[in-house]
Every structure is written in structure tokens, then in C-alpha cells.
């Protein structure tokens, strides 16, 4: 004879909680997708902002090519002498063509196209550049010189990034709350279904903790099983989405890459789901038993 008698009926006979692992799978699937999406976007946004945060672009749009050449040299010298600027480089024709390709298509950038000269400026991470003063100095050289520090775009981008991440966290929170509610309902249904068994166990001298343990073990299994299924489905979904979207970006934006190490952390989700289910079931059972004689 076994040392432990499983006094609750077999799981297959549990009409009230039979579907719970599947519900848990859906909950974990949604949580994992929300988290993975958030992590990937965070990673991608991080790279983009990293690229742009210490860069300035100077466009010289004077129509006269000779004059423009002089202005490029003058502006390059001016920038190199400005404190806080580490590096100034003029983009060559091939680089400019690549930048325009997403809009004009490959091979459509012809030599008669009026393309400005572009200076790529790298700003020091330790020193601050006085951009207003710099703009003033560049304006003195020519009114056809434009300085873009990407701040307006970057600011909107950061706001979007925050919104997406907070939304993902909000979804996660809602899913966790919904999971707790479902486990509470499931536990109560399970207790109602096993009312007779619980009463008999009480009469035979079982402690509340012993009865609660049977329920919490069962719900922990539901959480773990559902969690593993949900996480696998989420991984499959995400990999499929990345695979399908690999050609869509076409150079406009860089597709966020799959942050393997970070996403690997998500394997804790099924355990987290199991712990939530277990604790919720225990608290629910103990509270309900506490109201009995």
C-alpha cells in the first residue's frame, strides 16, 4: 500500500476543473506573448535609440555644387573644432543611395537627382554639445545648412516604447489577475464537487492543511501543465511571426531580433503559473474550510 492515499477522485472525473489546464495554457500563452513582445521591442528600440542618441546629421542643400563643396569643407572644419563633437564624416554617394532606396527603389537614384550632401556627426558621450549655439554658427555659414539632432523623432519613439512596454505589463497584470480569479472559481467548484469527500476527511480527523494540500498539489499540476503548453505555443507563435516579417522591413527599420538569452528567462513562466495556481488554491481552500465547523 502506498504511503499516501490520494483521497480526491481522479482528475479525469473532475468535471469542474477538467478544463483548467487549458485555461491556464491560454493565460500563460497571452502572458508569454505580452512579455516576449515587450522584450523584443525593448531590445529593438534600445538598439535604434542607441544608434541615434549620440548622432547628429547635417544636411547641406545649396543648389550650386561648387558652393556646396566649399560649405561642406567649412562646416566640417567648424564641427571638428566644436567641443563635444568626436567625429565628422561626409556620406559618400553609395551610402546616400542606400538611404534613399527604401523610398525610391533600388537603382532609381540617378545622378541628376538633387541630393544634398550629408555629414554624419558623432557626439561625445561625456561632453554636451550646445546645439543652439551650433545651429547659430551653421546659419552664419549658409541658410541652406540644416542640423538634425533627431530629438523630436527620438522623443516620440521613446514615448511609444514606454507605452508599448507599460501596455505589455498591464496585459500581464490583467492576465495574472484573471488567472487568479479562474483558479479561485476552479477551486471553489472543485470543493463543491468534493464536498462529501471533504466532510468525510474532516470527520476522520484530517487537518485543514491536509485537505488544502491535496487541492494545491492538483492545481499546481494544472498550472505547470498549462504553463508548459502555453509557453511552447507562445514560442512557436513568436518564431513564426519573426519568420514571416523578415522580408517586410525592407531596410526601413531593423526587425527586432529574437533576444534568446532574455526570452530564455521566460521558461520560469510555467513555474510562476504553477506557484500562482498552488497558492491561490491553498488560500481559497483554507479560507473556505475555515468557515466550516
Partner 1 sequence: MIHFENVGMRYGMGSEVLKDISFNLKPGSLHFLTGASGAGKTSLLKLMYLAQRPSRGKIRMFREDVGVASRSDLPRFRRRIGVVFQNFRLLDHLTAIENVALPLWIAGGKGAEIEQHVEELLTWVGLEGRMNARPPTLSGGEKQRVAIARAVIRRPDLLLADEPTGNVDPAIAKRIMHLFVELNKLGTTTIIATHDMGLVRAATANRMHLHDGRLQIIQAGDREQEFQEEDFDPAEYESRTLDQKEFGPRRYDEVDEGNGA
Of 228, 223, 233, 224, give the one whose Cα is nearest residue 186: 223
Long-range pairs for 61-68: beta carbons < 8 A, 24 or more residues apart: 61/116, 61/144, 61/145, 61/146, 62/142, 62/144, 63/114, 63/144, 68/117
Q: In what order do the strands lie in the sheet with 145-148?
A: 85-90, 117-123, 55-60, 145-148
Question: Interface with partner 1 includes 207 (CB under 8 A)?
Answer: yes
Residue 4 or residue 94: which is nearer to partner 1 going by CB?
4
The answer to whether 289 touches 198, Cβ cutoff 8 Å, is yes
CB under 8 A: which stretch of 34-42, 160-168, 200-208, 232-240 binds partner 1? 200-208
Question: Interface with partner 1 includes 214 (CB under 8 A)?
Answer: no
Question: Interface with partner 1 includes 285 (CB under 8 A)?
Answer: no
Question: Interface with partner 1 includes 203 (CB under 8 A)?
Answer: yes
Region of residue 284 (phi > 0: left; psi between -120 and 50: alpha; otherwise: beta): alpha
170-203 burial code (b ≥16 CB/10 A, e <16): ebbeebeeebbebbeebbbebbebbeeebeebbe
Question: Interface with partner 1 includes 192 (CB under 8 A)?
Answer: no
Minimum CB separation of residue 12 from partner 1 in Å reads 11
Question: Interface with partner 1 includes 4 (CB under 8 A)?
Answer: yes
Question: Interface with partner 1 includes 191 (CB under 8 A)?
Answer: no
Extract the C-alpha cell encoding 8: 480526491
Question: Interface with partner 1 includes 213 (CB under 8 A)?
Answer: no
Q: Which of 7, 48, 258, 272 binds partner 1 (CB under 8 A)?
A: 7
Residue 203 or residue 246: which is nearer to partner 1 going by CB?
203
Residue 260 Cα to chain centre, angstroms: 13
Minimum CB separation of residue 291 from partner 1 in Å reads 10
* E strand map for 210-288: none
CB under 8 A: which stretch of 17-25, 113-121, 184-192, 201-209 binds partner 1? 201-209
Question: Interface with partner 1 includes 12 (CB under 8 A)?
Answer: no
Residue 125 or residue 196: which is nearer to partner 1 going by CB?
196
Minimum CB separation of residue 28 from partner 1 in Å reads 30
Extract the C-alpha cell encoding 71: 560649405
Binding site for partner 1 (CB under 8 A): 1-5, 7, 9-10, 13, 196-197, 199-208, 210, 290, 293
Amino acid at each position: 500500500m502506498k504511503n499516501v492515499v490520494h483521497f480526491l477522485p481522479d482528475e479525469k472525473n473532475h468535471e469542474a476543473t477538467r478544463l483548467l489546464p487549458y485555461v491556464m495554457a491560454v493565460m500563460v500563452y497571452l502572458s508569454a506573448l505580452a512579455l516576449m513582445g515587450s522584450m523584443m521591442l525593448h531590445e529593438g528600440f534600445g538598439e535604434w535609440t542607441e544608434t541615434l542618441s549620440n548622432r547628429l546629421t547635417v544636411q547641406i542643400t545649396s543648389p550650386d555644387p561648387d558652393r556646396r563643396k566649399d560649405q561642406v569643407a567649412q562646416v566640417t572644419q567648424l564641427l571638428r573644432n566644436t567641443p563635444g563633437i568626436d567625429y565628422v564624416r561626409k556620406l559618400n554617394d553609395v551610402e546616400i543611395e542606400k538611404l534613399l532606396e527604401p523610398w525610391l527603389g533600388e537603382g532609381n537614384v540617378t545622378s541628376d537627382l538633387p541630393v544634398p550632401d550629408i555629414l554624419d556627426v558623432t557626439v561625445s558621450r561625456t561632453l554636451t554639445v550646445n546645439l543652439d549655439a551650433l545651429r547659430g554658427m551653421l546659419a552664419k555659414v549658409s541658410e541652406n545648412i540644416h542640423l538634425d539632432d533627431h530629438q523630436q523623432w527620438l522623443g516620440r519613439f521613446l514615448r511609444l516604447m514606454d507605452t508599448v512596454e507599460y501596455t505589455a505589463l498591464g496585459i500581464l497584470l490583467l492576465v495574472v489577475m484573471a488567472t487568479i480569479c479562474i483558479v479561485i472559481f476552479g477551486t471553489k467548484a472543485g470543493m463543491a464537487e468534493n464536498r462529501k469527500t471533504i466532510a468525510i476527511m474532516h470527520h476522520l480527523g484530517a487537518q485543514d492543511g491536509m485537505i488544502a494540500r491535496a487541492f494545491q498539489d492538483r492545481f499546481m499540476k494544472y498550472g505547470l501543465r498549462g504553463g508548459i503548453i502555453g509557453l511552447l505555443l507562445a514560442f512557436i507563435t513568436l518564431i513564426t511571426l519573426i519568420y514571416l516579417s523578415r522580408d517586410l522591413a525592407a531596410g526601413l527599420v531593423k526587425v527586432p531580433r529574437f533576444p534568446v538569452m532574455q526570452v530564455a528567462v521566460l521558461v520560469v513562466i510555467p513555474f510562476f503559473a504553477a506557484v500562482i495556481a498552488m497558492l491561490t488554491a491553498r488560500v481559497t481552500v483554507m479560507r473556505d474550510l475555515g468557515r466550516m465547523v
